[in-house]
Amino acid sequence: MDRDSHCAAERELLEAVSRITTSSTTSPSDEEENQPKAEISCQVRKEDPEKDDTQVSSATLSPNSSMTTKELQEYWKNEKRQCKQIKLLFEIPSTRIVEHHLSKYVMYKIIILQTGSFDSNKSVIERRYSDFEKLHRNLLEEFSEEMEDVTFPKKTLTGNFTEEIINERKLAFKDYLRLLYSMKYIRRSKKFIDFLTRPELQEAYGCLRGGQYTKALEILLEVIRLQERLTRGNPVAIVPTLCAIVVCHKDLENPASAFEYGEKALSLLRVRTSHRYYIPLLETMITLAYELGKDFLSLQEKLEEWKTKKDPIRVFTLKELAVREYIQ
């Protein structure tokens, strides 16, 4: 390629990136409550300053004339990926009947898929009728107006285990979850997110407290993928799970993996240094960095800086914090 063609290519890429950057900062119109809508992952919106801690990704850089053609191409590719519309789809393909002592109930297998992105991973959970019923009751308390036209499958005195009733409920619960997710304030609510993640997190933390780190880690790695999709408006919410993963990897003597997840958690807390996990995580990262031969002095400086600004208080270790989560 001659010099003129090379310059023309750079100018074309710069113009394309500029258009993407401009469109990504344009505020979208309000969502229609009863229609499923996709989230735009590249938009940064602050509807509730105390609940929405979205920060601009460090990977999103402003293009400039010093970038090479290859760097501009990579930037443009990343911007397209981040601006891709995403949404979650809920499928209930199967059920199973559980008989436990004197109780008998149906477990509904829920598959949660993410569309409109390059992520093909799916999350699989199981919930029973009483779990859905509790969710509905809790949402009615907080979102009575939004839930006004939402119907819920009623209990029947007989026939709860017939194929006909089970199939009807499979379809009803699928539509129910789809409708809840279409409503912005409900899908971002703690009650909705807890319904989809809390039972698995409780099991994982129970394993962690019992020293079953391999089993705990297996569950946590499954949950974190779903949490990341559900908490885009408040990414700091996944910090406890990331830290629990750090604890498991560290106790399983996988310092490199522990450091990797610790870096993710620390990046989310860069402007939240008052967060209860910040100092325990920082102390753990210093230990891991030293063990791995990485730069620990910059982390040590952050710790010393925090100590000079804050009054001395008792700080739990990262593991002590983790084992206290989800204690019923």
pLDDT of residue 67: 59
**pLDDT tens digits, 244-268:** 999 999 999 999 999 999 999 999 9
Q: Which fold has domain 195-324?
A: 1.25.40
pTM above 0.85, yes or no: no
Model confidence at 7: pLDDT above 80:
no
- Per-residue pLDDT averaged across 135-141, rounded? 96
- Per-residue pLDDT averaged across 134-153, rounded? 94
**pLDDT tens digits, 46-81:** 344 334 433 333 343 445 555 567 666 665 555 554
SS (H, E, C) the chain: CCHHHHHHHHHHHHHHHHHHHHHHCCCCCCCCCCCCCCEECCCCCCCCCCCCCCCCCCCCCCCCCCCCHHHHHHHHHHHHHHCCEEEEEEEEEEEEEEEECCEEEEEEEEEEEEECCCCCCEEEEEEEHHHHHHHHHHHHHHCCCCCCCCCCCCCCCCCCCCHHHHHHHHHHHHHHHHHHHHCHHHHCCHHHHHHHHHHHHHHHHHHHHCCCHHHHHHHHHHHHHHHHHHCCCCHHHHHHHHHHHHHHHHHCCCHHHHHHHHHHHHHHCCCCCCCCCHHHHHHHHHHHHHHHCCCCHHHHHHHHHHHHHCCCCCCCCHHHHHHCCCCC
Residue 59 and residue 78 in contact, taking contact as beta carbons nearer than 8 Å: yes
What's the CA gap between 19 and 164, in Å, rounded?
53
Model confidence at 30: pLDDT above 90:
no
Domain 88-188, CATH among 3.40.50.2000, 1.10.3470.10, 3.30.1520.10, 3.40.980.10:
3.30.1520.10
Residue 45 and residue 54 in contact, taking contact as beta carbons nearer than 8 Å: yes
pLDDT of residue 297: 94
Question: Considering the chain, what is the average pLDDT of its residues?
Answer: 80
**pLDDT tens digits, 176-187:** 999 999 999 999
158 band by pLDDT with thresholds 50, 70 and 90: confident
- Per-residue pLDDT averaged across 114-121, rounded? 66
Model confidence at 133: pLDDT above 70:
yes
324 band by pLDDT with thresholds 50, 70 and 90: very high
* Higher-pLDDT residue of 9, 236: 236
pLDDT of residue 182: 93
- Per-residue pLDDT averaged across 226-232, rounded? 92
pLDDT of residue 306: 85
pLDDT of residue 192: 97
pLDDT of residue 91: 95
pLDDT of residue 70: 62
What's the CA gap between 314 and 206, in Å, rounded?
25
Q: Where are the domains of the chain?
A: 88-188, 195-324
117 band by pLDDT with thresholds 50, 70 and 90: low
Model confidence at 113: pLDDT above 70:
yes
Go through the chain and tell me how many residues it has. Answer: 328
